[in-house]
């Protein structure tokens, strides 16, 4: 099984799948904001940034999938973004499922001063909603619950691919060489 995932990571199509799926989710978030009028909160903005990190991981892996160094860089960025997105979405889910006056999210994003994404790209990273408000659901599952599942899948797949990179695969013996 690990050999399959290693071979899969050496193909451009696998990294293209990562880039396109994360781009599709990012465009869906923008449709929710501008097409449906849903207001993103600060944690939504952070989740968007994590999704963009997954997109860039896919682009980096797409550049040279046969290079182990490039694959490891793409996997590191993808795992960092996926784990960060999972942690943020779990916190976001906690705020929605267990609201309390002492559990609030901030009003402005806490980006580093050197990377003020909310000032550079206000149409994507400027929050206008509140974190404890669930505005959309599909099949009874809220947007944040979907994000927890999506980030979890990304993390699981990327961890398996990372293990496949470092695990030695056994050479199969053939009866006749």
Q: Which active-site residues does the annotation give? A: 41, 44, 48, 105, 131
CA-CA distances (angstroms) from residue 165 to 1, 16, 17, 106, 177?
Answer: 12, 18, 18, 39, 27
DSSP labels, 140-176: TEEHHHHHHHHHHHHHHHHHHHHHHHHSPPPPPP-S-
How many C-beta neighbours within 10 Å does residue 14 have? 20
State the Cα–Cα distance between residues 161 and 76, nearest whole angstrom.
11
Per the listing, tokens 């160094």 go with 69
- C-alpha R_g of the chain: 19
DSSP labels, 17-62: HHHHHHHHHHHHHHIIIIIS-PPP-HHHHHHHHHHHHHHHHHHHHH
């Amino acid at each position: 099984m690990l050999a399959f995932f290693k071979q899969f990571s050496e193909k451009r199509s696998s990294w293209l799948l990562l880039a396109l799926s994360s781009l599709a989710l990012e465009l869906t978030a923008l449709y929710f904001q501008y097409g449906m009028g849903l207001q993103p909160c600060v944690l939504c903005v952070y989740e968007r940034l994590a999704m963009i990190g997954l997109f860039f991981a896919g682009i980096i892996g797409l550049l040279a999938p046969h290079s182990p160094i490039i694959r490891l860089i793409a996997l590191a960025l993808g795992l960092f973004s996926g784990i960060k997105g999972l942690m943020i979405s779990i916190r976001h889910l906690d705020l929605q499922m267990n609201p309390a006056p002492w559990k609030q999210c901030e009003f402005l994003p806490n980006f580093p001063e050197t990377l003020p994404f909310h000032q550079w790209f206000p149409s994507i990273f400027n929050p206008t909603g509140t974190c404890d408000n669930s505005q959309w659901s599909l099949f009874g599952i809220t947007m944040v619950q979907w994000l927890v599942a999506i980030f979890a899948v990304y993390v699981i797949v990327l961890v398996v691919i990372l293990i496949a990179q470092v695990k030695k695969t056994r050479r199969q013996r053939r009866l006749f060489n």
